[in-house]
Amino acid sequence: MNKLMPFDGNLLTTGMGILPHRDMDRALKISMSVDIPFWPQLPKMSFFEDMYVQASENFPGIILEPDRLNIYFDTAKFYTELENTFANFENPDFFRMSPKYSATYHTFLGFDLSKYISIRGQLEGPVSFGLKVLDENKKPIIFNEEVRSILFDFMAKKANVQLNELKEKNPRAFIFIDEPGLQYIFSSVSGYTNDMAKKDFEIFFNQIEHPRGIHLCGNPDWDFLLNLDIDILSFNAYNCGEIFVKYKGSIKRFLERGGIIGWGLVPANFDEFQKESQINLIHHIERLWNELLKEGFDIKEVLAKSIIMPATCALLNPDEFKTVEDAYSWLRDLSLRLREKYGIL
């Protein structure tokens, strides 16, 4: 049964894990400007600030090539290092993210984070990691049964260590598992079926402490995710909202058991942002909510179980970080405008 989140949503703001900044201080200023601060991943600043590289620390068989911005897997190295991995499986330090793999994370932990309603962490999930990282035969490691069995347990351990570190700074902290690959794996993929993926993912999440959630930008199996034992689900409401709100039965059950929805409302991509206005985005999110209200949802309950976020990260904008910073400014404005409109203090 899903645990209640330790706070109400009430259209509070948080951000995406990834920012396009090369300057850590400027990025942290953005990540601390929202209601629920987060530590940003900054792949443009450093190879080791990349989400896949960070998740790979101490995973057996991984080879990093920073000069080539490359991460890959060697099967022979995996078996050589497996004994040491098993020997450290109950050692939290083995799964802790070191300063080498994120100076930003450790700088964030150095702030006084106790005054915020919550703080948030994130970790690249095993499905996306397993699809991204290739072995010496250019095959995704998720299709190797022995590697996959270690991968899910390994990532769950890393998630728990990070979540506990964040809870030391703020007891209401939660963690997102970032899974952009879910929309691909929950379709028919040769060698790794839909049913296998769902079973693995359920076992994986059951190992992670609460509060825990999923973030993704695509269109996966919404029924499966909404009925998974998670506390918060973040998605791209700007591009995928019309599809998401069709799953009314699953959304209703998710909210009734205490789940919070993160509505990715504000586009951070340059082309999308340039054609939008704040009033258009307000109309967009209200159209989505109205689809739920037509089915008997209570607007007060929906808003109490909602936070708002940028729709996606944006690393390739022609103006680098300007549009992203403007998107975060809009996010704060929209939260205030919506809270005032609906009488949320």
pLDDT tens digits, one per residue of 52-79 = 999 999 999 999 999 999 999 999 999 9
Q: Which domain holds residue 34?
A: 12-341
Evaluate whether 328 touches 37 at the Cβ level (below 8 Å).
no
Q: Tell me if 123 is assigned to some domain.
A: yes
- Give the pLDDT score at 212: 96
How many angstroms separate the CA atoms of 28 and 38, rounded? Answer: 8
Please determine, for residue 98, whether its predicted confidence score (pLDDT) is greater than 60: yes
- The enclosing domain of 163 has a CATH number of 3.20.20.210
Q: Tell me if 4 is assigned to some domain.
A: no
Over residues 289-303, the pLDDT tens digits come to 999 999 999 999 999
- Give the pLDDT score at 75: 98
Q: Tell me if 169 is assigned to some domain.
A: yes
How many angstroms separate the CA atoms of 134 and 138, rounded? Answer: 5
The DSSP secondary-structure symbol of 189 reads B
Q: Tell me if 103 is assigned to some domain.
A: yes
Over residues 316-327, the pLDDT tens digits come to 999 999 999 999
Q: Tell me if 86 is assigned to some domain.
A: yes
- Give the pLDDT score at 188: 57
How many angstroms separate the CA atoms of 307 and 177, rounded? Answer: 17
Place of tokens 């994130």: 122
CB atoms within 10 A of CB 1: 6
Q: Using CB atoms within 10 A of its CB, is residue 298 exposed (0-12), middle (13-18) or buried (19+)?
A: exposed
pLDDT band at 194 (very low <50, low <70, confident <90, very high): confident
Q: Tell me if 7 is assigned to some domain.
A: no
Q: Which residues of 278-287 are buried (b: 16+ CB within 10 A; e: fewer)?
A: eeebeebbee
- Tell me the chain's radius of gyration from C-alpha atoms: 20
Q: Tell me if 1 is assigned to some domain.
A: no
Over residues 124-145, the pLDDT tens digits come to 999 999 999 999 999 999 999 9
How many angstroms separate the CA atoms of 305 and 254, rounded? Answer: 10
Q: Tell me if 2 is assigned to some domain.
A: no
Over residues 168-180, the pLDDT tens digits come to 999 999 999 999 8
- pLDDT averaged over the chain? 94
- Give the pLDDT score at 291: 97
- Give the pLDDT score at 96: 98
Task: Tell me how many domains the chain contains.
Answer: 1
